[in-house]
Amino acid sequence: MNVLVIGNGGREHAILLALKKSKRIEKLYCMKGNAGTAEIAENVDVDYMDIAAVISYATAHPEIDYYVVTPDDPLAIGLVDALEGIGKRCFGPRKAAAQIEASKAFAKQLMKKYKIPTAESETFSDYEQALAYVRKKGAPIVLKADGLALGKGVLVCETLEQAEAGLKEIMLDKAFGSAGNKVVIEEFLRGLKYIPGEEVSVLAFTDGKAIVPMITSCDHKRAHDGDKGLNTGGMGTFSPCPFWNKKLEKQVLKKIMIPTVKAMNKEGRKFKGCLYFGLMRTDKGMKVVEYNSRFGDPETQVVLPMLKTDLLDIFEAVTEEKLSDIKIEWEDGACVCVVLASGGYPESYKKGKEITIGDTDGVTLVHAGTAIKDGKLVTNGGRVMGVVARGKDVEKAREKAYSAVKNIEWENMQYRTDIGIKYREG
């Protein structure tokens, strides 16, 4: 089969690397891709946010059998609906189902209606009313722009001053554009043992009937060591999550995952694809922090290398709604991804810096913001690449990843040195 993956990031490179292992793949394509995807796929220079352009490309290329739509923004504008509309087979939810990520107000309302455990919240489109609510509740408090904001539209406010300033930023100054037309104001969740709370990312395959969680992972969202600095798209991940176990998985399936699939069906928004559950372990059990309508980035980079089952078989089973017919198996051990970013990320940073790579044997370099310019590998984004290593346990994988990081450089490279050392018990 010829398969085209839509997206430019590390997640897409990781998906392509996993698909490449399938015996049934003849040729891979990536729209638009990066320097890493170009090594294993044909990069297609079409803007995937331009639905008409994608449809005209797809019509002109009948040799492509299957489309994988991964980023949140094309899912939110209905790229899957459009491709299916011209008879193409796809992996990824339709627009109505992608709302579970594209609108936090929708997601919160869904959880409230179907009694899925999450932080208490109220949604406002009026600034004065929102401000009065914030003042009534006090700090700490969490503000979330309703719409998509590159993972940056969430403000965890420790003081009332911060919350008031944040509310103004989102609703009046429109720091996240129209994503801030509505704001969700949410109770601050505390972890059971650690501050900030224990979070786990659980990605799950679902065909709208069955839901199968993948192995778990933990993200590091803040820019700097010790969870300091601004929220980013994710500075590194490790798998599996240390506090996860079979008992917890059973509980989460029963109280959160299956109810979510059923709720989406009841709302007439059947979700087919990868549903991402961002969960927090609190003293009142596991709660949903966020849903994403897609694979996480950089979670995918540590989850898919551990997958034993053919990823294309799983994708097609989801499309055909036959997920319960296949057995999904995972490798033992652990995996770590250290993200190397451009200095200044997630604020302003420079592109076009030449990247030099020395000995990186035994790890996989998963590209994100990279490009080839005048025959040289250069930086082309905030998150530039992930260094992915597997090991017997997280500690071994972590050592391997960081010893390769030492051999990669460019001017002003930035990364966290503490990926993989959170939530250690004892």
Residue 188 binding ligand AMP, by CB under 6 A:
yes
189 belongs to the binding site for ligand AMP (CB under 6 A): yes
> Residue from 199, 207, 297, 316 that binds ligand GLY (CB under 6 A)?
297
Q: Which of 186, 198, 219, 267 binds ligand GLY (CB under 6 A)?
A: 219
Q: How many residues bind ligand AMP (CB under 6 A)?
A: 17
Binding partner of residue 18 among ligand AMP, ligand GLY, none, CB cut-off 5 to 8 Å per kind: none
Q: Which of residues 92-151 bind ligand AMP (CB under 6 A)?
A: 119, 142, 151
The 3-state secondary structure of the chain, one letter per residue: CEEEEEECCHHHHHHHHHHHCCCCCCEEEEEECCCCHHHHCEEECCCCCCHHHHHHHHHHCCCCCEEEECCHHHHHCCHHHHHHHCCCEEECCCHHHHHHHHCHHHHHHHHHHCCCCECCEEEECCHHHHHHHHHHHCCCEEEEECCCCCCCCEEEECCHHHHHHHHHHHHHCCCCHHHHCCEEEEECCCCCCCCCCEEEEEEEEECCCCEEECCCEEECCEEEHHHEEEECCCCEEEECCCCCCHHHHHHHHHHHHHHHHHHHHHCCCCCCEEEEEEEEEECCEEEEEEEECCCCCCCHHHHHHHECCCHHHHHHHHHCCCHHHCCCCECCCEEEEEEEEECCCCCCCCCCCECEECCCCCCEEEECCEEEECCEEEECCCEEEEEEEEECCHHHHHHHHHHHHCCEECCCEECCCCCCCCCCCC
Which member of 69, 90, 134, 154 binds ligand AMP (CB under 6 A)?
154
Strand partners, 273: 206
Of 31 and 235, the one with the shorter C-beta distance to ligand GLY is 235
- At closest approach, how far in Å is the CB of 425 from ligand AMP? 20
Task: Identify which of residues 205 and 410 has a Cβ nearer to ligand GLY in the complex.
Answer: 205
Choices 46-54, 184-192, 328-336, 398-406 (CB under 6 A): range interacting with ligand AMP:
184-192
- Interface with ligand AMP, residue 237, by CB under 6 A: no
Does the protein bind ligand GLY through residue 207 (CB under 6 A)?
no
**104, 146 Cβ separation under 8 angstroms:** yes
Q: Which of 88, 108, 221, 398 binds ligand AMP (CB under 6 A)?
A: 221
Pick one of 12, 199, 299, 310: the residue that binds ligand GLY (CB under 6 A).
299
Contact window for ligand GLY (CB under 6 A) among 52-60, 295-303, 319-327, 346-354 = 295-303
> Based on CB atoms, which residue is closest to ligand AMP, 72 or 290?
290
Using rule CB under 6 A, residue 223 touches ligand AMP: no
Q: Does position 151 bind ligand GLY by CB under 6 A? A: yes
Q: How many residues line the site for ligand GLY (CB under 6 A)?
A: 7
Min. distance of Cβ 221 from ligand AMP in angstroms? 5
Looking at residues 224 to 253 of the shown chain, list those that interact with ligand GLY (rule: CB under 6 A): 234
- Round to whole Å and give the CA distance between 333 and 339: 20
Nearer to ligand GLY, 146 or 297 (CB): 297
Q: Which is nearer to ligand AMP, 142 or 408 (CB)?
A: 142
Binding interface with ligand AMP (CB under 6 A): 119, 142, 151, 154, 156, 186-189, 196-197, 199, 221, 231, 278, 289-290
